[in-house]
Structure 1
Amino acid sequence: MLSKYPLSDVEKAFLAESGVDKISTLIPYLTVDNFPKLGLMTACRFLEWAAANPEGVISLPTGKTPEFFIKWTQYLLENWDAKKGKEIREKYGLGSTKKPVLKDLTFVQIDEFYPISSKQHNSFYDYVNKFYLQGFGLSKEKAILINSDEIPLSGGKHFSEVFPDLKVDLSLRFRDPANELEKIQQESIYMIDQWCGDYEQRIRDLGGIGFFLGGIGPDGHIAFNTRGSHLYSVTRLTETNFETQAVAAGDLGGIEVSANRLVITIGLDTIVYNKDAVGIIIAAGEAKAGIVKDSLETKMNNVYPATVLQKLKNGRFYLTKGAAVKLTDSLDAYYEKGEWTFEKTERSVIELCKKLNKYGHRLKLSDLKADKYTRLIPGLSEDTVNQVMKSIETKLSKGLEKETDQVLLHTGPHHDDISLGILPHITNQLSEPTNEAHFSVLTSGFTAVTNTFVIDTLIYTRKLLDEGKIQMVNYEDFFQIGYSLKTDKDVYHYLTNVASENADARRRGLSHRVVRALVIIWSIKNKAQLRETINDVISILRNSYDGEKNPSKIQTLKGMIREFEEELVWGYFGVQVKNVHHLRLGFYTGDIFTEQPDKNRDVEPIVEMFRKVKPTKISLTLDPEGSGPDTHYKVLQATAAAVKKWGEEHDTSKLRIIGYRNVWFKFEPHEANVIVPVSLGDMSVMEDSFTNCYLSQVNASFPSYSHNGKFSTVAQRTWVGQLNDIQLLLGKNYFYLHERAKVRASHGLIFFRDMSVDEFLATARELEKSIEGML
C-alpha cells in the first residue's frame, strides 16, 4: 500500500522499526509502541517538513494529545547537534537534515470555542500562543489566529455585550429577530460569518495549509468538523455534537458550559485544499481503536470526517499500537503471526458467535472452517467450541467463589472508580465477616467538582449557619479539636436521612462536612472567620471563568467534598471512615499536561499505606494508556512501583492483584480470568448509592462521551453488554437454568483479571515502556 505513496525518510525509518509489513487501509498509517514515541515520530516528521519548507503554512492541534509532540520538537531543536539529538536524528531519518528555523512559518489556528476570552487559559488562542508561538519561536505577526475578543460585531460591541449569557442562537441566520437585542445578535452572526469567510480566504491566498496535524475525537471529528460535516466544508461558526461537548467539558468547566458554547473551526476542505499538503491525524490508546478503524477502512464519507484525508497523497494516520488494534491488518497479524495461544482460540470463537449471531452450541465445524481466524485454530474439531465454553464457565466459577480471611485494599484513581468498576464483587466480599476491607482513592479528584456546585453548597451552608442549624460550631472546643471528631457520625446521620428520604437533612449533612473542611484548610478559629471565609470562597468562584484553575485551597476543598462522597458510599456497607484512605497524590495538579508520578512524592505514600494495611488482595484499574483520563494510567504506574518496592521488604508471594476496568474502558472476555454475575439487586444498589452519595456527579457535568447522564448508567450498560456477549456463547438457558441462584439472577457480568504480583508487574512493565526514552 505505502509503495503507492511518497514516503519521507522519517516515515521510512519508523515504518521499518514498526515491523508492519501489510497496510491495506484507504489512508496509509504508521504505528509506534506508545504515546511518547508517537510524539517523537510526529516531531521528526514535522521538523523534516519544516526544514524543506521554511516559509510554509502549518496548523497544529491543541489539547492533551500533542503533549509529547511539543516536548520532542523542543528537545530536538535544543539538542540538534548534541550527542543524544544526533543519535535520534540518525536513527529516524533526520541525519542529513539541516536544523530547521521555524520563525518564518505561518501558523494557522485550527479552531476555537465561541465566544471565549482570549485571556482565558482554557482558550485555544492562549494555548497556541503559549506552546506554539512562544514555545516554538513562531512569528506572531504572520500567524492567522482566532481571537474572539477581536472578531468585529454589530456596533463595534464586545461579545459580552452582544451575547451576555455567552449563548449564540444560530437560528437567527434564518428567522426574524424578536427584539432589539436579537437584531444586534443577528447582525453580529452575519459579521462573524463574514469574518470566517475572510479567515478561509487568508489561508487559501497562501496556497492552503502545507502541514496539518490534528487529533481525532470519539465521533471521528477532526478540528471541530464533527460527524456529518460536509466534505467541502470551510471555516465557519457552528454547533457541536454531544460527544464533542463531553470531551470539551473538561476544558470549559462542565457540559453545562460546553453544550451551550459554539465553535469556530476550519473546514474539511480547508485541510485538504493544498493537494501537496502533509495531513497527519494522531491517535493514542485502545479507546480510539474503533473510530480509527472506521476512519481508515471506510470510503470517503461525511459520517467519518477524517476519511477526507484520502484526498491527500501525503495523508497519514500516526498511531500507537493500541489505537491500531482493531484494524483488519492488526487482527490479521495477531492471528497469523507468533505462537497460537488458547486466548486466540477463545477470542476468535466468541467473535465468530457475534459475527454470525449464533449461540455457541449452534456453531458447526463448517462455520469454524469458513472463518478466516477460527480456521487457524490448531487441532480444530467439533470439541473446539466446547473447550471455549468450559473456559468461560471456569471464569464464572471463580467469580462465585467465597473469599474468607482476606485483607482487601480496593484502590481507584478517582472517587467513584472503584464503585463503578466492581461494586457487586465488593458487596460479596463485605458480606463475609472474616474479611477486612479498606478503600483508597489515590488523587483528590477536585477537577470533577464544578464551581457552581461549590457555590450552591456554600450558600446553603451559610444559610444554615445564620439560622443556627449547624450547632457543632457552638461547642467550646470545636475550632480547636471538635472539627476533627465524629466523622463517622457525619456519615451515619447522612445515610439515615437517605433512608428516611429527607433531602434537606442530607444537604445539611454535606454542609456539616464542608464546615469541617473549611476549618481544616483555612485554620479557622471562630464563627466570624468561618462566615468570612465562606463569603471569600464564593466571591473567588463567582469571579472565576468556567474551567479556570482554582487556587490550591479551593482545589483542596473540592477534593474533600469528593472524599466525603467516597466515605458515604462505603458507609452504605458499614465501612468506617478510618478504612477509607485519601492519598491526594501530588502529580494531580489540574494542569493541561500533568507530571509523571514521582518516586518519593507519589510512590512512597502508597507503600506506606501497604505497610499500614498489609493487604492480601489489592484491586486497581488496569486501563491501557490513552484510554480515558491519563490519571488512570499514571496511578497505575505509581501503584506498580509501590507494589515492587513493598515486595522488597515484605513477602508478597501470596498477594493477589485484581485488575478491573469501568466506564472508560472494558475487558474483552479473553482478557479476563474472573467473571462475576451481577443481579438487578446489585444494579439497584450501585445506582442508589451513586445517586445519593456522589452528589457532585449526579448532574454529570463531565460525562462519558457515550452517554449524556450519570456514570452509573454507563457502568450498568457495560455489565449488561458483557452478559450479552457471554450469553451468545453459553446460551441463555445456561443462566436461567443454572443450579446457583446467583447465576440465575444475573442480568449483567463484571470482568476482571486476578494476577500474582509477578504477573501484574509484567503487565505493568509492558505499559511502563511507554514512558521510557522520555526527555
Structure 2
Amino acid sequence: MSTAESSAAPITNSHGMEVEKIPSHVFQNAKNASTYVAGQIADLIRQRSDAGENCVLGLATGSTPVSVYDELVRLHEEEGLSFQNVVTFNLDEYFPMDSDALQSYVRFMQEHLFDRVDIKPENVHIPDGTIDEAEVANYCRDYEQAITSAGGIDIQILGIGRTGHIGFNEPGSGRESRTRLITLDIVTRRDAASDFFGEEYVPSRAITMGVGTILEAKQIYLLAFGEGKAPVVAAAIEGEISKSIAASFLQDHANAKIILDDAAAEQLTRFRCPWVLGSCDWNEPLIRKAVLWLSQHLQKPILKLTVEDYNEEGLQDLLAQYGSAYDINLKVFRHLQSTITGWPGGKPEHARQPGDRPQNHEDIFPKRIIVFSPHPDDDVISMGGTLGRLADQGHEVHIAYQTSGNIAVFDHDVREQAELIADFNNAFELPNEQTSALLSGMQEALENKLPGEVDSEAVQRVKGLIRRGEARAGARVCGVPADKLHFMDMPFYETGRVRKKPLGEDDIALTVKLLQQIKPHQIYAAGDLSDPHGTHRTCLKAILEACQEVQEESWYEVCDVWLYRGAWQEWSPHQIEMSVPLSPNEMLRKRNAIFKHESQKDRALFPGPDPREFWQRAEDRNHKTAQVYDALGLAEYEAIEGFVRWKGDVLNLL
C-alpha cells in the first residue's frame, strides 16, 4: 500500500496561500485506499477492546465503502478482529423503505458487514424507513440521543454525492442541521435510479444524520473514487465553504481527511496544473499536459504560444529547463500530430507512402482484431467509427460482448417480444404447449413484479436475447458479420441485480480461452471506468488479467492493447496516443449502429449522470475532441475517436 501523494503538510501555491483546505491523501487505487481506512478502524477497535471500552463507528452505504467493509471482514476472518465492542450508527435510509427490500440500507449493511462479523445486533443502529411519518421527528431526536448516550462517534465514514452531499444532506443543508427527514435532490434520485430499476421508483425522501451531527464525530474519513467524483471533490476541498456543497463544511473539522484514488483526485490543483504551485519534476507527459493546458487556457494554437505566454501563466520553470518556447511548442505539436491515423490497424504494403508514420507491427496485414464490449452496445457507442474503419480496411474483426446487459432492458420490451412470439405461433398455426406456458408464466411474472424486484430466470434470458439481437444488428451496420460475434455472458454479471458478484476465475478463464482461440494482433477494451455499476471496471480487469496470463505466448508478442472511451467520458488530448478521424458519413454510420440498440434508445434504464441518449453523448464527445485538435492548430476533422495504449500499468488502478 502506498500513496501517490500525501498532504501531511498543507498544499500551498507559490504565494503561500493554502489550496487544499482539508487534508487529502491520494492512493493509487480504491483498494489500497480502502485497506488504509479499514486499518485505521481496526486499530481503534483493538485499542478500545484492550481498554475495555466500546468503539463507536458512523457508517455509510453505497459502492464507495464496500471495499472497506470487505477488508474489515477479512481482518475478522483471518486475523481475529472482533466486533464485540463495536457500536454502529448509519448515516441514512430511504423513506419509506422496508428493511428487507433490495435497496434497503439495512439489507446492504447486513450483506456487506453485519452478517459476516461478530457484532452484537443490539449495537447496530440504522435509521428506520418503516416508522409512521407522524413519529419521524421524535424518532430523529431519539437517534441523536442514542449517539450521545454511546459517547459520540469515534470514526465517521462518508462518501460524497455529485451534489456534494454527505449523508443525504442535499444542497441547502446548514452546518447546524441535525438528523431529520429530507427531500432528495433530483440529481441524487437520478444517480440512484440504477438501484431501483428506474428513476420513478426512487423514494423522494430519506432520513439522514445532519451536517452538525456528522461534524461532531471525533475523526472523519470521506472516501471518493473514480473520475465522476473529481469535480465535486475539488470543489469541496479547494472551494469556499458553502451550503450548496455540504462536504465543504469538513474544512472546519479538526480531524477530517479526504481519501481518494488517482482518478478522483485528478481535478485537484496539484494534479490538474501542478506548475501553479511551484517547481515540477518535468517529464514528457507533464510537458504535454502543461502546453495543451496553456494553449486551451489562452485559446491560442500550440505553435503560436510565446515566451511571454509561458512566463505570465506560471510556466517559467518549464522554460528555464527546456529552453525556447518554440522548441517546446514544436515537440508537443509533432507528438499530437503523430497520434492521428486513418489506418488504426496499419496500412497494406501497396498503400504505404514515403513519409508515412510507422504503425506498430505494420508488416502484419490484415490483422486479427478483437473488440471487447462490456455491454452489448459499448462497442458502437465508444468506437463505432473505428470499428467500421477496421472492417472496411479488410481486417478480421471480432467483437466480444462480455455481459448480457439483460438488466438494462425494460419490462415492456419483453412483453412486446412475448406478444410477437404468440402472434407468430398463431399466424402460422404452430401450437406449442410449452411455449404457451412459458409465455404465460413470463407475462404473469411481469404483471406481479414489484419495483426493483429481480426478474424470473425466463425473463432474464429473454432480456439477454433482446440485447443479443440488437448487438448483431449494430455490428452488421459496422460491417462485422454474425460469425465473428462472441457472447461471453460472464458469470460475475448474471445475478439479475444491479449488484454483481466479484470477478471470479471463471470470468478470467472465459477471456483467456477466447484470446487463445483468436490470437489477436490488436485488442480494444473499454477504459472508461466511471460507469455507475462498475461493470466496465470489472470487465477491463478481466481482460488485463487474461493478458497477463497469455503474455508468454508467441502470438501475444505482436499484440497491442488499446483502451477506448466514450460511453461515460473521453480521453483528454494529452492522454491520447491514437486519434482516428471520422468523416460525416462515418459519424452517420456510427449513429445508425447505435440506433440498432432499440431497447436503449429514447430512454436508457440506467442512464447515469448524463441524461442525454448515448448516441448524443458519443457524438458530442467525438465532435469536441476534433474541435480541440482544431483549436490546438492541427487539421480540422468532423470528429475523432481517441485511444490510449495499455502498457501494463492500468491493472494497478483497478
1:245-275 per-position Cα deviation (integer Å, ceiling 9, x unaligned)? 23212211122322x6432222222211x2x
Distance across 2 between alignment mates of 1:66 and 1:319:
12
After superposition, the Cα gap between the structure-2 partners of 1:569 and 1:195, relative to the gap in structure 1 and judged at 3 Å, is same
After superposition, the Cα gap between the structure-2 partners of 1:399 and 1:287, relative to the gap in structure 1 and judged at 3 Å, is farther
The amino acid of 2:652's aligned partner reads K
1:98-152 per-position Cα deviation (integer Å, ceiling 9, x unaligned)? x6x5334432221222223222132112112343433343333343323333x12
On the 8 A contact 2:96/2:129 being kept in 1, the answer is yes
Does the alignment pair 1:619 with 2:563? no
The amino acid of 1:271's aligned partner reads I
Distance across 2 between alignment mates of 1:242 and 1:399:
44
After superposition, the Cα gap between the structure-2 partners of 1:144 and 1:650, relative to the gap in structure 1 and judged at 3 Å, is same
Does the alignment pair 1:440 with 2:383? no
After superposition, the Cα gap between the structure-2 partners of 1:57 and 1:612, relative to the gap in structure 1 and judged at 3 Å, is closer
After superposition, the Cα gap between the structure-2 partners of 1:528 and 1:302, relative to the gap in structure 1 and judged at 3 Å, is same
Distance across 1 between alignment mates of 2:9 and 2:614:
39
On the 8 A contact 1:620/1:636 being kept in 2, the answer is yes
After superposition, the Cα gap between the structure-2 partners of 1:194 and 1:715, relative to the gap in structure 1 and judged at 3 Å, is farther
Distance across 1 between alignment mates of 2:438 and 2:66:
37
SS in structure 2 of the partner of residue 671 of structure 1: coil
1:209-230 per-position Cα deviation (integer Å, ceiling 9, x unaligned)? 3321011123322212234433
Does the alignment pair 1:548 with 2:548? no
Does the alignment pair 1:29 with 2:10? no
Distance across 2 between alignment mates of 1:452 and 1:147:
33
Distance across 2 between alignment mates of 1:218 and 1:297:
16
Question: How far does residue 429 in structure 1 lie from its aligned partner after superposition?
Answer: 2.4
- Larger radius of gyration between Structure 1 and Structure 2: 1
SS in structure 2 of the partner of residue 730 of structure 1: coil
Question: How far does residue 39 in structure 1 lie from its aligned partner after superposition?
Answer: 1.7
Does the alignment pair 1:417 with 2:378? yes
Question: How far does residue 679 in structure 1 lie from its aligned partner after superposition?
Answer: 4.1
Distance across 2 between alignment mates of 1:216 and 1:113:
16
Question: How far does residue 699 in structure 1 lie from its aligned partner after superposition?
Answer: 1.4
Aligned residue number for residue 488 of structure 2:
583
Distance across 2 between alignment mates of 1:448 and 1:31:
34
Superposition map of 1:157-196 within 5 A: 191-193=135-137, 195-196=139-140
Aligned residue number for residue 61 of structure 2:
62
Question: How far does residue 423 in structure 1 lie from its aligned partner after superposition?
Answer: 0.9
For 2:174, which of 230, 254, 270 is the aligned residue? 230
Distance across 1 between alignment mates of 2:114 and 2:503:
29
Distance across 1 between alignment mates of 2:310 and 2:301:
13
On the 8 A contact 1:64/1:593 being kept in 2, the answer is no
After superposition, the Cα gap between the structure-2 partners of 1:596 and 1:133, relative to the gap in structure 1 and judged at 3 Å, is closer
Question: How far does residue 440 in structure 1 lie from its aligned partner after superposition?
Answer: 1.1
SS in structure 2 of the partner of residue 41 of structure 1: helix
Question: How far does residue 296 in structure 1 lie from its aligned partner after superposition?
Answer: 0.8
Does the alignment pair 1:112 with 2:93? yes
After superposition, the Cα gap between the structure-2 partners of 1:400 and 1:567, relative to the gap in structure 1 and judged at 3 Å, is closer
User: How many pairs were matched up?
Assistant: 621
Aligned residue number for residue 633 of structure 2:
730
Question: How far does residue 597 in structure 1 lie from its aligned partner after superposition?
Answer: 3.5
Distance across 1 between alignment mates of 2:479 and 2:531:
33
After superposition, the Cα gap between the structure-2 partners of 1:232 and 1:354, relative to the gap in structure 1 and judged at 3 Å, is farther
Question: How far does residue 19 in structure 1 lie from its aligned partner after superposition?
Answer: 6.0
On the 8 A contact 2:70/2:112 being kept in 1, the answer is no
For 1:350, which of 282, 292, 302 is the aligned residue? 292
After superposition, the Cα gap between the structure-2 partners of 1:126 and 1:598, relative to the gap in structure 1 and judged at 3 Å, is closer
For 1:303, which of 244, 247, 250 is the aligned residue? 244
1:329-379 per-position Cα deviation (integer Å, ceiling 9, x unaligned)? 345769978863322221101111233333434422111123334642532
For 1:427, which of 349, 374, 388 is the aligned residue? 388
The amino acid of 2:436's aligned partner reads R
On the 8 A contact 2:503/2:542 being kept in 1, the answer is yes
On the 8 A contact 1:26/1:299 being kept in 2, the answer is no
Aligned residue number for residue 767 of structure 1:
650
Distance across 2 between alignment mates of 1:621 and 1:245:
27
Aligned residue number for residue 634 of structure 1:
538
Does the alignment pair 1:211 with 2:155? yes
After superposition, the Cα gap between the structure-2 partners of 1:144 and 1:641, relative to the gap in structure 1 and judged at 3 Å, is closer
Aligned residue number for residue 227 of structure 2:
286
On the 8 A contact 2:521/2:555 being kept in 1, the answer is no
Does the alignment pair 1:666 with 2:626? no
Question: How far does residue 700 in structure 1 lie from its aligned partner after superposition?
Answer: 1.6
On the 8 A contact 1:63/1:592 being kept in 2, the answer is no
On the 8 A contact 1:448/1:697 being kept in 2, the answer is no
After superposition, the Cα gap between the structure-2 partners of 1:609 and 1:387, relative to the gap in structure 1 and judged at 3 Å, is same
The amino acid of 1:617's aligned partner reads Q
SS in structure 2 of the partner of residue 669 of structure 1: coil
On the 8 A contact 2:520/2:555 being kept in 1, the answer is no
For 1:527, which of 418, 432, 445 is the aligned residue? 432
Q: CA RMSD in A?
A: 3.1
Does the alignment pair 1:317 with 2:278? no
On the 8 A contact 1:410/1:439 being kept in 2, the answer is yes
Aligned residue number for residue 566 of structure 1:
471
After superposition, the Cα gap between the structure-2 partners of 1:608 and 1:264, relative to the gap in structure 1 and judged at 3 Å, is same
Question: How far does residue 416 in structure 1 lie from its aligned partner after superposition?
Answer: 1.2
After superposition, the Cα gap between the structure-2 partners of 1:140 and 1:611, relative to the gap in structure 1 and judged at 3 Å, is closer
On the 8 A contact 2:499/2:533 being kept in 1, the answer is no
Aligned residue number for residue 715 of structure 1:
618
Question: How far does residue 199 in structure 1 lie from its aligned partner after superposition?
Answer: 3.8
SS in structure 2 of the partner of residue 141 of structure 1: helix
On the 8 A contact 1:285/1:627 being kept in 2, the answer is no
1:173-223 per-position Cα deviation (integer Å, ceiling 9, x unaligned)? xxxxxxxxxxxxxxxxx5545544554454456565332101112332221
Distance across 1 between alignment mates of 2:627 and 2:141:
50
Distance across 2 between alignment mates of 1:365 and 1:301:
39
After superposition, the Cα gap between the structure-2 partners of 1:131 and 1:645, relative to the gap in structure 1 and judged at 3 Å, is closer
On the 8 A contact 1:621/1:636 being kept in 2, the answer is yes
Distance across 1 between alignment mates of 2:436 and 2:290:
64
Structure 2 unaligned regions, length at least 5: 12-19, 349-365
Distance across 1 between alignment mates of 2:504 and 2:135:
50
On the 8 A contact 1:398/1:674 being kept in 2, the answer is no
Question: How far does residue 386 in structure 1 lie from its aligned partner after superposition?
Answer: 3.0
Aligned residue number for residue 205 of structure 2:
262
Question: How far does residue 403 in structure 1 lie from its aligned partner after superposition?
Answer: 4.5
Structure 1 unaligned regions, length at least 5: 1-12, 82-98, 154-189, 475-525, 736-742
TM-score, structure 2 length as denominator?
0.86
The amino acid of 1:423's aligned partner reads G
On the 8 A contact 2:6/2:24 being kept in 1, the answer is no
Distance across 2 between alignment mates of 1:27 and 1:673:
35
Does the alignment pair 1:328 with 2:269? yes
Bigger drift between 434-443 and 534-543 goes to: 534-543
TM-score, structure 1 length as denominator?
0.73
After superposition, the Cα gap between the structure-2 partners of 1:35 and 1:129, relative to the gap in structure 1 and judged at 3 Å, is same
Question: How far does residue 281 in structure 1 lie from its aligned partner after superposition?
Answer: 0.6
On the 8 A contact 2:171/2:243 being kept in 1, the answer is yes
Distance across 1 between alignment mates of 2:412 and 2:205:
21
On the 8 A contact 1:704/1:711 being kept in 2, the answer is no
Aligned residue number for residue 353 of structure 2:
none
After superposition, the Cα gap between the structure-2 partners of 1:331 and 1:429, relative to the gap in structure 1 and judged at 3 Å, is closer
Distance across 2 between alignment mates of 1:102 and 1:301:
37
On the 8 A contact 2:387/2:478 being kept in 1, the answer is no
SS in structure 1 of the partner of residue 491 of structure 2: coil
Aligned residue number for residue 750 of structure 1:
641
Question: How far does residue 289 in structure 1 lie from its aligned partner after superposition?
Answer: 2.4
Aligned residue number for residue 460 of structure 1:
419
After superposition, the Cα gap between the structure-2 partners of 1:372 and 1:321, relative to the gap in structure 1 and judged at 3 Å, is same
- Give the structure with the higher percent helix: 1
The amino acid of 2:594's aligned partner reads F
1:529-581 per-position Cα deviation (integer Å, ceiling 9, x unaligned)? 11211221232334343333344444333222211111111122443322211
